[in-house]
Amino acid sequence: MSRPSSDRDVPGTLIGFEDVALGYRRRAVLSSLTFAVHENEFFGIVGANGSGKTTILRAMLGILVPLRGRIRYAGGATRRRFGYVPQRAFVDELFPLTALDIVLMGRYGLLPAGRRPGERDRRIAVEQLAHAGIGDLAASRFRDLSGGQKQRVLFARALASEPRVLLMDEPTDGMDLAGQQAILDLITRLRSETGITVVYVTHRLNELANFADRLLLLHDDRLRVGTVGELLTPAVLHEMYGVDARVERVAGRRVIVT
């Protein structure tokens, strides 16, 4: 890995990776990861399939334990509160669960072991379904929903956990342009309403060019962390991807043209 950022001591750091190595079966696939996610920012992790971006996300979530180094959470691990939107393809459709059943699971982490969700939990789950624009699908079975509707259910579940950080893994994968835009608009609206921190994993750099505050770019053995303005330049894109790319503005929005 080259050029790790050194912003771990910036005030407002929410999640700090300190010289972290990640991998499977004791074999590191990513090493020397040193970067931070700051409070209230939209942090994008961009890389091709197999580049390790989901591995980083899993480590942030505590699903994957680092082989080396340390991941620090503001206020300690016990005070972290995540909302997680996994890849839709990884959600098991064999379970005959309704949209409401799944959104209610977002409340489970807030309840003590052995306590079932109550009226308040149900109300919050219903509200989040409505917030995600699918309030009328509460009783529908998850497996019968369209791809976009399923994504919104997972989004609503993440919000039902009242998160400080919303972590999303390829939330628009397999969706058409309208579906992608609808999800990004939902996130934008949520951020303007709550100022929530967002960590967003995707393989499409253009998708985040106009939404993210900072980016972590992963490609082969190269890694760069910086603001969108710092990274979306012809020089950095050439260094990372070996292509001659321009960043142009169309109707006030950044577009990467190769």
Partner 1 sequence: MSKLLEMFQQGFMIDVLAGTTIVAALCSYLGVFIILRRAVFVGAALAQVSSLGVALALFATGAIERWWDVHLHIAPQPMAVALTLAAAVAMAIQHKEARLPRETVVGITYVAASGLAILVVAMSTHAESEVLNLLFGNVLAIGRGEVAALAVLAVAVGAVHWRFYKEFLFVSFDPDTATALGLPARAWNVALFLTIGLTISLAIRAAGALVVFDFLVLPAATALLLKGSLRVAFTGAVVAGVASSVAGISISYLADLPTGPTIVAVSTSLLVAVAVAMRNG
- Which residues of this protein are in contact with partner 1, per CB under 8 A? 24-25, 58, 61-63, 82, 84, 86, 90-92, 94-98, 101, 105-106, 108-109, 111, 113-114, 116-117, 141, 157, 161, 167
Residue with tokens 């052995």: 114
Determine how β-strand 253-257 pairs with β-strand 246-250.
Answer: antiparallel
CB of 7 to partner 1, least distance (A): 24
Nearer to partner 1 among residue 58 and residue 152 (C-beta): 58
Closest CA to 213 of 243, 176, 187, 244: 187
CB of 96 to partner 1, least distance (A): 5
Nearer to partner 1 among residue 116 and residue 249 (C-beta): 116
What number of other Cβ atoms are within 10 A of residue 195's Cβ? Answer: 10
Nearer to partner 1 among residue 199 and residue 216 (C-beta): 199
Closest CA to 80 of 201, 162, 187, 186: 162
CB of 57 to partner 1, least distance (A): 9
Closest CA to 243 of 234, 254, 252, 255: 234
CB of 157 to partner 1, least distance (A): 8
What number of other Cβ atoms are within 10 A of residue 249's Cβ? Answer: 9
Nearer to partner 1 among residue 25 and residue 120 (C-beta): 25
